[in-house]
Structure 1
Amino acid sequence: MAGNAEKKQATKNAKILKEIHLISLGVNVITLLIIFLFNRPSNKKPFFFFNIPLVICELIVEKIGRPRFALEKVSGGRIVPKLVSSGEDLSQSGLTEYLFDVIYFTLIQNIVLVILGSNNVWYLSLVIPAFAAYKLYGLFLGGRQLLGGGSDVKGEESASASKEKGQSKRQQKLEKRGQKVRYR
């Protein structure tokens, strides 16, 4: 028997998935109608090519977030669904948040494509890998500082700042000793 927390997460995930699929369906249908009825823009291939990340991200979110049920017989011969897995929490940060960002960004590009009628909108897709590189760079720097690598610029700045405050040498040593990482 699934707990209340799992049931709440399952209903929340199902609601989020339904909303994202309906929004995506609506925007894409309107975009396709405008593209084919008004023949604006004339080249339709970029639309299909640049919507591949949207489809992939939606499939991943669907796979990890969809609650799974199994049919179970209960007394009286009735068959009722039993919650097997509530799926991953779709409101968590990290990779899931990035997937939703890609989905929403692509849908916004589709709306701008309809408004402007130009395939130049797809150059905005370069923002997605640039944002990923920015996040990875921050993650790399955080890990590097955590492992004690990199320069000691911050330590030098704090030592010079403490000298400016008028601390004695003893106070500076105690502060420096407190900043050191201790392994046990």
Structure 2
Amino acid sequence: MAQKAAKTLAARNASLLTRTHIISAILHALFLTLHWLFNRPSSWKPYLFLACPTLLIEFYLERLGRPSHHPVDGSLRSPGEDLGAAGLTEYMWDILYWTWGCIGAACLFGDRGWWLWIVVPLYSVWLAYSTFTGMKSGLAGMGGGGGSAQAEQAAAESKRQKKMEKRGGQRAQYR
């Protein structure tokens, strides 16, 4: 059972990447088939501008997470990076999934389906704003502002100290 965690990660990454490529190929083929077969009045600009960059994201995730094996004996050389990691990888998966939804909407509703993509920049702005406000409140205890939070904390401590004094202070128990 040597390297069980690495083997598990490699199997999970390989299956996730295979499933991702199959779903992406099906959606792109469906969009292109509907465009060419039924002569849909959709332009190529939204598709090229919004859907094709996700192919670059897929390529990056492939390079990042695909496990590599030794060519001689087939043993695991590297399991690849964890594709379920938080941070930038998670954001890339979100963009990929959202683009799949937009391609599906473009298949159903035509070019109007690409307007759903506006949610991605709005989400980025909201994420940056919430990170900034979280950082600001985290620095409040170091003199970075937030006087009302300090006053509430002092009031809570004083109530606690009053209760402790009423009980006779803190008591130590010996066995």
Change in CA separation of 1:23 and 1:155 when aligned onto 2, cut-off 3 Å: same
Q: Give the Å deviation of 1:114.
A: 1.0
Ranked by relative contact order (alpha carbons within 8 Å, sequence separation 6 or more), the top structure is 1
Residues 1:91 and 2:114 aligned together: no
Question: 1 CA distance for matches of 2:101 and 2:41?
Answer: 16
Q: Give the Å deviation of 1:155.
A: 2.5
Question: 2 CA distance for matches of 1:143 and 1:87?
Answer: 32
Match in the other structure for 2:147? 152
Contact 1:53–1:102 (CA under 8 A) maintained in structure 2: no
Give the letter for the 2:114 counterpart: W
Contact 1:14–1:67 (CA under 8 A) maintained in structure 2: yes
Change in CA separation of 1:2 and 1:59 when aligned onto 2, cut-off 3 Å: farther
Question: 2 CA distance for matches of 1:2 and 1:137?
Answer: 45
Match in the other structure for 1:132? 124
Match in the other structure for 2:172? none
Tell me, which stretches of 5 or more residues in structure 1 are unaligned?
72-78, 175-184
Alpha carbon RMSD of aligned pairs, Å?
Answer: 2.7
- Superposed, 1:1-184 pairs within 5 Å as 3-71=3-71, 79-117=72-110, 119-147=111-139, 148=142, 149-158=144-153, 162=156, 167=159, 171=162
Question: 1 CA distance for matches of 2:116 and 2:53?
Answer: 13
Give the letter for the 1:90 counterpart: L
Match in the other structure for 1:75? none
Q: Which secondary structure state, in structure 2, belongs to the residue aligned with residue 128 of structure 1? A: helix
Q: Give the Å deviation of 1:159.
A: 5.0
Contact 2:105–2:114 (CA under 8 A) maintained in structure 1: no
Tell me, which stretches of 5 or more residues in structure 2 are unaligned?
166-175
Once the two structures are aligned, what percentage of the paired residues are identical?
A: 34
Give the letter for the 1:133 counterpart: V
Q: Which secondary structure state, in structure 2, belongs to the residue aligned with residue 84 of structure 1? A: strand
Question: 2 CA distance for matches of 1:4 and 1:159?
Answer: 51
Greater helix content: 2
Question: 1 CA distance for matches of 2:152 and 2:100?
Answer: 46
Question: 1 CA distance for matches of 2:84 and 2:105?
Answer: 27
When normalised by structure 1's length, the TM-score is 0.76
Contact 1:69–1:85 (CA under 8 A) maintained in structure 2: yes
